[in-house]
Chain A
């Protein structure tokens, strides 16, 4: 059983700073972490292995420093880590990223491919299902529970807005997981020791047999035309003051004026 977990390095949102001049993200100042949702994917990969055996590999596409998150996954207990890195891949949108990841996953070999629900930088949630389409396998998104799994098939519960859809799929399959699915384990002492010395298997575009005209900024279908900071100006709020009773009265009158209350 070959389990591949796609993990992404993202800026640590607890200290995101936006350049007030350009409205772009100050990436230099932001620390980086493994995308929080991907921790659940790694954990689920390890649990599947514990249940039915196999190997768990993590795969990340990014600059060389993305190695750091592979080390975290090694610390948690995965068997091996692949770093897909190539200047040609820079600026890839989800369409191009999914293509590159699918080529790498084919190279690694797979029965189950796991993704986080979404990456917290782009927030798109598109890479999982898109990669599955390139791989021509089913994808069960928003998985909150694996009911049953064996070498041949899986039954999973997926979180929809109105409840849960239960889906059965043969392997190979792709899953995107939500945080309800498990509680990710911490890095073990033994794992951390291994991580310290661990060197991930590095691949470039040529190594995965990728087509140059399907990746990178130049060949991505979507373009970011402009970005700006979404911070609203402080002090715009109308402050309601007085004793609690007066405040309550004022608030209800305001809402009435706005037609929100009868």
Chain B
């Protein structure tokens, strides 16, 4: 059992890749600010990297009161062991009550190691946070079972309370460059920089299409598209509206489009502003990857297709007539 009163402050792990801060860090600072204010405590960002001092002010501008900065050559490229040891080392020294990180490839790889080192609970891939101010417990809300079930998780006895959170769910605060904050460079144990696994190289995705995880608009095609040739209808609409192309597993398995476009439980989780589902029935596994999109538009000839239950706008009809009509109208604008 830990003395919960020893633990204070909300922390956000500020993720960077090759010196660029990941947007999820700003989103979490936005949410973190709200949590810290309600708890009447401070919001801090933890920034690990090499030659990244200049990024600390960006974090302060987006809501951090403090930035714990470790600038070390060993932190240049992502390394699970070193990142885990360094973050755990800082947390042991300064004892935050909450640590949030993005549910990204980086966050989900090393945060579990941190939680073991800190003897703390960890909740994955949250989409909402609430507070029980009495007990200072964080309600960590997340989808499970491919999104068909929501769960509210608490970590009643231990501190820090740790969670990874999905990106594009929380809103960043607008940058306020006049904000002042403190930059702290903690002492790190020499041992924390030791590692067995070595980063060798980074290979950028060769695919030239827009990464669907990042896209603001996605036009997705399913089995209803019918063939590889017909997928052009989806691509044309995506191009006209300035979006990326997504697909259901049925479309990917049929070989109409590559796996990197697959949305859903075994594909990518996306959260764009607009998601247009064309000829997709809306199986739970597909919904799991896209149901938190802002505006879902479903085009399907079957009025009973489950996709309509998550849609904001529904169009019952033949996509072979409707898609070209929308593309045409968009081009004329």
Chain A positions within 8 Å of B, measured between CB atoms, are: 11, 13, 16, 18, 23-25, 36-37, 93-95, 98, 120-130, 132-134, 137-142, 155, 157-170, 173, 179-180, 220-241, 244-245, 247-249, 251-252, 254-255, 258, 260-261
Sample (7) of A-B pairs whose CB atoms are under 8 Å apart: A125-B124, A138-B197, A162-B211, A168-B198, A221-B120, A232-B291, A260-B295
Q: Which residues from B are CB-within-8-Å of A173?
A: 197
> Is chain A's interface secondary structure helix, strand, loop, or mixed overall?
mixed
Contact status A223-B156, CB under 8 Å: yes
Q: Say yes or no: A222-B123 contact (C-beta < 8 A), given A163-B204, A165-B202.
A: yes
Contact status A94-B112, CB under 8 Å: yes
Q: Say yes or no: A163-B202 contact (C-beta < 8 A), given A130-B116, A255-B274.
A: yes
- CB contact list, B104-159 vs A, under 8 A: 104-106, 108-110, 112-113, 115-117, 119-125, 139-140, 143-158
Contact status B149-A227, CB under 8 Å: yes
Contact status A160-B139, CB under 8 Å: no
Contact status B213-A161, CB under 8 Å: yes
Q: Which residues from B are CB-within-8-Å of A161?
A: 104-105, 211, 213-214
Q: Say yes or no: A245-B325 contact (C-beta < 8 A), given A141-B80, A166-B201, A237-B311.
A: yes
7 tightest Cβ-Cβ pairs between the two chains A and B: A221-B121, A237-B314, A138-B197, A124-B124, A169-B197, A222-B121, A244-B325
Q: Say yes or no: A139-B113 contact (C-beta < 8 A), given A167-B200, A221-B158, A223-B153.
A: yes
Contact status A240-B148, CB under 8 Å: no
Q: How far is the CA of A246 from the CA of B191 in the complex (A)?
A: 67
Instruction: Pick the residue among A141, A224, A260 that contacts B274 (CB under 8 A).
Output: A260
A1 CB, nearest partner CB in chain B, Å: 18
Contact status A222-B155, CB under 8 Å: yes
Interface centre among B112, B198, B322 (most CB of A within 10 A): B112
A210 CB, nearest partner CB in chain B, Å: 15
Q: Say yes or no: A251-B297 contact (C-beta < 8 A), given A16-B145, A163-B203, A168-B198.
A: yes
Q: Which residues from B are CB-within-8-Å of A225?
A: 139, 152-154
Size of B's binding interface in residues, CB under 8 A: 88
- CB contact list, B187-234 vs A, under 8 A: 195-205, 211, 213-214
Q: Which residues from A are CB-within-8-Å of B291?
A: 230, 232
Contact status A138-B196, CB under 8 Å: yes
Q: How far is the CA of A165 from the CA of B155 in the complex (A)?
A: 33
Verify if B184 is at the interface (C-beta below 8 Å from A). Answer: no
Q: Which residues from B are CB-within-8-Å of A233?
A: 309
Q: How far is the CA of A130 from the CA of B317 in the complex (A)?
A: 48
Shortest Cβ distance from B310 into A: residue: A232
Q: How far is the CA of A121 from the CA of B288 in the complex (A)?
A: 12
Q: How far is the CA of A222 from the CA of B89 in the complex (A)?
A: 22
Q: How far is the CA of A82 from the CA of B22 in the complex (A)?
A: 41
Q: Which residues from A are CB-within-8-Å of B195?
A: 138
Verify if B290 is at the interface (C-beta below 8 Å from A). Answer: no
Q: Say yes or no: A226-B314 contact (C-beta < 8 A), given A130-B116, A221-B158.
A: no
Verify if B313 is at the interface (C-beta below 8 Å from A). Answer: yes
Q: How far is the CA of A164 from the CA of B324 in the complex (A)?
A: 36
Q: Say yes or no: A229-B122 contact (C-beta < 8 A), given A16-B284, A247-B317, A260-B295.
A: no
Verify if B175 is at the interface (C-beta below 8 Å from A). Answer: no
Shortest Cβ distance from A147 into B: residue: B200
Shortest Cβ distance from A36 into B: residue: B266
Verify if B50 is at the interface (C-beta below 8 Å from A). Answer: no
B218 CB, nearest partner CB in chain A, Å: 13
B73 CB, nearest partner CB in chain A, Å: 17
- Other than the known A165-B202, A221-B120, A235-B308, what 7 A-B pairs have Cβ atoms closer than 8 Å? A16-B146, A94-B122, A123-B146, A124-B124, A130-B112, A130-B115, A179-B266
Q: How far is the CA of A98 from the CA of B122 in the complex (A)?
A: 12
Q: Say yes or no: A226-B113 contact (C-beta < 8 A), given A124-B125, A160-B106.
A: no
Q: Which residues from A are CB-within-8-Å of B75?
A: none
Q: Which residues from A are CB-within-8-Å of B198?
A: 167-169
Q: How far is the CA of A202 from the CA of B117 in the complex (A)?
A: 29
Contact status A260-B273, CB under 8 Å: yes
Contact status B144-A133, CB under 8 Å: no
Q: Say yes or no: A25-B149 contact (C-beta < 8 A), given A161-B105, A248-B326.
A: yes
Q: Say yes or no: A132-B113 contact (C-beta < 8 A), given A161-B211, A237-B313.
A: yes
Shortest Cβ distance from B200 into A: residue: A166
Shortest Cβ distance from A245 into B: residue: B325
A153 CB, nearest partner CB in chain B, Å: 10
Contact status B325-A160, CB under 8 Å: no
Q: How far is the CA of A36 from the CA of B203 in the complex (A)?
A: 27
Q: How far is the CA of A245 from the CA of B325 in the complex (A)?
A: 6
Contact status A227-B151, CB under 8 Å: yes
